[in-house]
């Protein structure tokens, strides 16, 4: 994908999604109920991480059985994993940081890359390849909303999806910024709800999160 195509595609995904749930699948049997609970709460664009053994299988299953969802992959650290994720059907790629190798790969990829950045140097590296849309990670550690406000000076055409420590308590700080296109995180998937298969709670937290985002955007 050219940098322009990547920007256009990520903008489309981010604008529609508003929130990107970051999902680590606990058990194979949880894939569909978990995704269905998020979708019932209004979250239909998902980042499935490859942090456990179930990630790739989950992407494959969701693409086959839930065609209405937009399924991306997270925690892509190297070209091999990238290829496996695209083969499984991932519709976008998220990396926690950026390396020249992965940024280059994104330019030849059929699916768009949302590279992770944590500071001005990361952004400058990705700029050289034409990237203008980024995941700020881990957002709460690398400066949060203050960092994004500062980035809007030197990187006026960059937009971000802050992720890491984002939740109901600080959503509005992020969404008040013009350079935030959406926010990401796992707060709607608390560990105890997943452990007990409490899908109603996941649905409730998802709907509540979207409501907060829409309030922030309209206020
Ligand atoms: C990620 O990988 O993007 C983060 O682990 C999600 O952050 P959170 O769990 O703090 O929401």
Q: Is 185 in the pocket of ligand 1 (CB under 6 A)?
A: yes
**Which mutation among 17, 94, 118, 138 tests ligand 1's pocket best, with the greatest number of atoms within 8 A of CB?**
138
pLDDT at 217: 81
Three state DSSP letters for 90-157? CCCEECCCCCHHHHHHHHCCCCCEECEECCHHHHHHHHHCCCCEEEECCCCCCCHHHHHHHHCCCCCC
Do the domain assignments include residue 185?
yes
* CB neighbours of residue 44 within 10 Å: 18
**Spatial contact of 44 and 68, defined as CB atoms under 8 Å apart:** yes
Q: Is 48 in the pocket of ligand 1 (CB under 6 A)?
A: no
Do the domain assignments include residue 47?
yes
Indicate the pTM of the whole model.
0.96
172 catalytic residue (yes or no)? no
Task: Kindly report the CATH number assigned to the domain that includes residue 118.
Answer: 3.20.20.70
Element (H, E) at 122: helix 120-128
Do the domain assignments include residue 219?
no
Do the domain assignments include residue 17?
yes
135 catalytic residue (yes or no)? yes
Do the domain assignments include residue 59?
yes
Rounded distance between C-alpha atoms, residue 145 and residue 183, angstroms: 11
> What is the atom index within ligand 1 of the atom nearest the CA of 75?
2
Residue nearest ligand 1's atom 9 by CA: 186
Which residues are registered as beta bridge partners of 159?
Answer: 133
- Residue from 135, 146, 172, 203 carrying the catalytic annotation: 135
**Spatial contact of 74 and 22, defined as CB atoms under 8 Å apart:** yes
Q: Which two tokens stand for residue 154?
A: 């030197």
Total structural domains within the chain:
1
> What is the atom index within ligand 1 of the atom nearest the CA of 167?
11
pLDDT at 219: 67
Secondary-structure breakdown of the chain: helix, strand, coil percentages, each rounded to the nearest 5: 45, 15, 35
**Which mutation among 19, 25, 142, 164 tests ligand 1's pocket best, with the greatest number of atoms within 8 A of CB?**
164
Do the domain assignments include residue 29?
yes
Q: Residue 185 gets which letter from DSSP?
A: E
Q: Which two tokens stand for residue 49?
A: 């991480």
User: Domain range holding 58?
Assistant: 3-214
* 185 Cα–ligand 1 center, Å: 5
**Which mutation among 52, 141, 184 tests ligand 1's pocket best, with the greatest number of atoms within 8 A of CB?**
184
Tens-digit pLDDT string for the chain (219 aa): 899 999 999 999 999 999 999 999 989 999 999 999 999 999 999 999 999 899 999 999 999 999 999 999 999 999 999 999 999 999 999 999 999 999 999 999 999 999 999 999 999 999 999 999 999 999 999 999 999 999 999 999 999 999 999 999 999 999 999 999 999 999 999 999 999 999 999 999 999 999 999 988 886
């Amino acid at each position: 994908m050219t940098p322009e195509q990547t920007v256009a595609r990520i903008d489309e995904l981010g604008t529609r999604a508003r929130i990107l749930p970051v999902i680590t699948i606990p058990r194979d049997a949880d894939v569909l109920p978990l995704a269905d609970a998020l979708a019932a709460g209004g979250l239909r664009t998902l980042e499935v991480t490859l942090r456990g053994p179930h990630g790739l299988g989950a992407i494959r299953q969701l693409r086959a059985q839930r065609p209405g969802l937009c399924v991306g992959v997270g925690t892509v650290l190297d070209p091999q994993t990238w290829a496996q994720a695209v083969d499984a059907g991932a519709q976008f790629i998220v990396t926690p940081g950026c390396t020249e190798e992965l940024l280059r790969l994104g330019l030849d990829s059929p699916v768009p890359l949302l590279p992770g950045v944590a500071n001005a140097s990361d952004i400058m590296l990705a700029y050289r390849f034409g990237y203008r849309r980024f995941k700020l990670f881990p957002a709460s550690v690398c400066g949060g909303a203050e960092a994004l406000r500062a980035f809007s000076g030197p990187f006026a055409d960059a937009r971000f999806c802050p992720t890491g420590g984002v939740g109901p308590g600080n959503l509005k700080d992020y969404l008040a910024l013009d350079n935030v296109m959406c926010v990401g995180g796992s707060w709607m998937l608390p560990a105890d709800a997943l452990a007990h298969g409490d899908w109603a709670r996941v649905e409730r937290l998802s709907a509540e999160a979207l409501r907060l985002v829409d309030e922030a955007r309209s206020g």
